[in-house]
Amino acid sequence: METISQLKGKVAQLEAWNTEKNRYRKVEVAPGVIAYALKQDEDREPAHYACTDCYRDNRISILKPETWDPGRCKVLSCHRCGSALYLVGAMWPEHQKYRSHPSLEGCHGAPNSRWPLASAALPVCGRACTRSRSGGAGSGRNCCRRS
């Protein structure tokens, strides 16, 4: 059972997150590509885009503009969760090397907070999963972080 002080702490965290998330609005950065943008009236920091996956996890992670080869693709990349939003160009298999190695802190059963040897990048969600099938290869099936 949680104590009153723990509950008050959680309420304070939720109130702080509500204040922070209200500083952003959902925008289409390219046809069919959605991110959160800092509202223009917020002059406390430079204009930027925030990751939708991290926003859903009650976190703001600024997307970094990058150019990935081959293809000279223009991408907004999240270095927290590994998401990549393609603005110009399309995904190539070689682009996997550019993706950051996301934390597994929210993945139940993960042995550590970085990609373990038995995990695999899931092209659908761009996250790692420790659910493995025979042979040690990661599987997208039953991934606890897959949306």
Residue-wise pLDDT for 77-123, tens only, equals 999 998 999 999 888 888 888 776 555 444 444 333 333 333 333 33
> Is residue 124's pLDDT more than 80?
no
Beta-bridge partners for 68: 73
- Confidence category of residue 59, pLDDT binned at 50, 70, 90: very high
Is the Cβ–Cβ distance between 129 and 138 less than 8 Å? yes
Backbone angles phi, psi at 66, to 5 degrees: -140, 160
Same domain? 110 vs 95? no
Same domain? 50 vs 30? yes
Residue-wise pLDDT for 23-52, tens only, equals 999 999 999 999 999 998 756 788 999 999
Tell whether pTM > 0.75.
no
Same domain? 132 vs 116? yes
Same domain? 81 vs 146? no
Same domain? 118 vs 138? yes
Domain span including residue 79: 4-100
Same domain? 62 vs 81? yes
Same domain? 14 vs 65? yes
Same domain? 61 vs 114? no
Same domain? 69 vs 126? no
Task: Enter the tokens of residue 58.
Answer: 């009650």
Segments in the chain forming alpha helices (H): 4-21, 52-56
| The total number of structural domains that make up the chain | 2
Radius of gyration of the chain (CA): 18
Same domain? 92 vs 129? no
- Peptide bond before residue 123 is cis, with ω within 30 degrees of 0: no
Same domain? 74 vs 141? no
CA distance 94 to 109: 29
CA angle 38, 147, 81 (to 5 degrees): 50
